[in-house]
Amino acid sequence: MTRAGTDRQPWTATVLTLFPEAFPGLLGSSLAGKGLERDLWRLETLDIRGFARDKHRSVDDTPFGGGAGMVMRPDVVGAAVEASAESPGPLVYLSPRGRTFDQAMAREFAEEPGLRLLCGRYEGIDERVLEASGAREVSIGDYVLSGGEVAAQVVLDAVVRLLPGVMGNEASGGDESFEGDLLEYPHYTRPAEWQGRSVPEVLLSGHHERVRQWRRARAEDITERRRPDLWHRYLERRRTGGNEEG
C-alpha cells in the first residue's frame, strides 16, 4: 500500500539502536500498531552493535580528556549511519541539547518520506559522527534519559498519528492540544453526573455553535493560565491573521 493513493512508498522509520528488541514496543499498539499492520507506515531497526569490529563487539570507549562514563565510538556508529544512508528521511539524533520537539516539528517530520532516528547511550556519541552526518539534534524535554530509545518512540508516536489514514477520525487531530497554539479543551462523557460533579450544561444542549464557542473559550482560558508562552504566540498569530476562529 502506498501513501495517500500515490506512488510513494509508506512513510518509513529507521531506528539505529543498541536495543532493536525495544521496537516496536508500545508503537505496536493502538492506532500506530494498526497503521503498522496495514502498511500505512513501516518500521525498521538497525543494530549498532552489529557494526562493532572487535571480538568483544565493543561500541564505546573512555572519553578523551577524562571524565566519567563512556562514549559511543565514531567508527562503529559512523558505519551504522552510513549503512542507513539509503533509508528515507533525515537523520535525527535524540539528544538533550537538541531543539525541543513540538507539534510543529511532528507535522514537519510527517511530510518527510520517513525518519532515521539515531539513539545514543552512555554519555552520548562521538561528536565527529554528528558533524560528518549532519544529524539534526532533537530533544523531547529538559531531563536525562538512559538512552534515545524512549525519546525515539515519543517522536514516532507523535508523527505516525499524523500520517494519512492512521487516525480513524481525520478531523479529531485538529482539535488536540498544540494545534493552533492552544491547549485542548476539557472532555466529558457518561454518566452526566459523577460524585456530585455535573457535565457543563452547554455540552448537553445539542447546540453545536454554542458547544464550539464554549470549547474555544475553555481552550483559550486553559492556555492563558497554564502556558503563557503558547498564549502569547496564539495572540500574535491572531493579530497577524494566522489563526482563524473555529
C-alpha cell at 162: 499524523
3-state DSSP of the chain: CCHHHCCCCCEEEEEEECCHHHCCHHHHCHHHHHHHHCCCEEEEEEEHHHHCCCCCCCCEECCCCCCCCCEECHHHHHHHHHHCCCCCCCEEEEEEEEEECCHHHHHHHHCCCEEEEECCECCCECHHHHHHHCCEEEECCCCCCCEHHHHHHHHHHHHHCCCCCCCCCHHHHHHCCCHHHCCCCCCCCCCCEECCEECCHHHHCCCHHHHHHHHHHHHHHHHHHHCHHHHHHHHHHHHCCCCCCC
Type of residue numbered 89: G
Burial of 182 (0-12, 13-18, 19+ CB in 10 A): buried
Contact 41, 163 (CB under 8 A): yes
Annotated binding site: 120, 140-145
Annotated binding site for S-adenosyl-L-methionine: 120, 140-145
Contact 13, 117 (CB under 8 A): yes
C-alpha cell at 221: 482560558
